Amino acid sequence: MSAFFDPARAYHRHGAFAAPATTRPELWRLVAGLAAIEAIFALAIQGFDALLEEVAPRLAQAVFEGTSPAGLTLQLVSYGFLGLATAFVVEKLHDRPARSLIGPRGQGAAMLTRAFLGAMAFYMVVQFMPPWGDFAAIEEVRPAATWLLMLPLALGALLVQTASEELLYRGYLQQQIAARFAHPAVWMVVPNLIFASVHWNEGSGWADNWQYVIWAFCFGLACSDLTARAGSLGPAIGLHLANNAYAFLFFGEVGGLDSGLSLLLFPATPEMPDMGEGGPILTLTLLMELAVLALAWLSARLAIRR
């Protein structure tokens, strides 16, 4: 295996990235910290939702469903509570600055931008160039001028969401686990098992859930790999931002969840019957989605190569 991939060589910058976590590396701190972050985030979201319900019930429903520009923007921005909770726990429980979650100064923003542009360019090629693009079924196109005016705000909201998740999973968890376990199989796999598990949706079918969890785990591995190669959280945020921008800003379903910022709206997809535990998991669609993810990761990796 080392003839094709040498972790020590590929990830030689990761040691410096994880070094700040060695100040307070105890596992009990990590478990307590993760529990505290989740609790703070849950309480903050509950308070945020309750306040919206009190002052603007219609907006609260739009935030929950993500069906309007304002609703989806606020939904994405609310993930900032997760980033703030992570920063608070790192400083109070692990006695290190929250800034240490990102990596060396002066590199994160540039690598974020390069990874974002590299992955985004790939996504645009996949969608808009033949034979992939199929726009015959478009039911509604939002006014381009309004969409463009909203674009900076939408990207800013997506940056809050994606950066907050990366601070927790590829920042806090990956660093703290690496401070105790040197092998990449541990500090790459464990955080992303946790990341994948939160993508399980009790309202979805068994097979759909497993497919989404598998995809999320592989996506997390791609972000962990970029972080380890660069020694910075910037590229992982860039890939995550490109993925979510592609998912939220270009395509949605008419009246569908999280369609509030989409430019192109397709008819709602009929809900498929839940086949229970007998439904197939490893399908051609899942394999194609994983292939697209792999190529987006490669595009981001090439964009940050130095």
The pLDDT value recorded for residue 1 is 44
What whole-number distance in Å separates Cα of residue 150 and Cα of residue 168? Answer: 28
In a domain, 21, yes or no: yes
pLDDT at residue number 133:
57
Distance CA 21, CA 32 (A): 15
pLDDT < 70: residue spans in the chain: 1-4, 130-135, 270-278, 306
Assess if residue 131 is contained within a domain. yes
- Distance, in Å, from the CA atom of 239 to the CA atom of 89, rounded to the nearest integer, reads 25
- Summarize the chain as % helix, strand, coil (round to 5): 70, 5, 25
Please tell me the total count of domains within the chain: 1
Residue 166 lies in a domain: yes
Does 1 map to a domain? no
Strands 264-266 and 251-253: parallel
Is residue 284 a part of any domain in this protein? yes
Domain that holds residue 231: 7-304
Q: Give the torsion sign (CA, 62, 63, 69, 72).
A: negative
Burial 30-66 (b: 16+ CB within 10 A, else e): beebbebbeebbeebeeebeeebeeeeeeebebbebb
Specify if 34 maps to a domain: yes
**Cross-strand bridge partners of residue 229:** none
Residue 2 in domain:
no
pLDDT in tens, 90-136: 999 999 999 999 998 888 899 999 999 999 999 998 877 765 556 67
Place of tokens 């309004």: 146
Q: What is the pTM of this model?
A: 0.94
Q: What does the block give as tokens for 299?
A: 């595009």
**Main-chain dihedrals φ then ψ at residue 170, nearest 5 degrees:** -95, -10
At 294 the pLDDT is: 97
Whether 219 maps to a domain, the answer reads yes
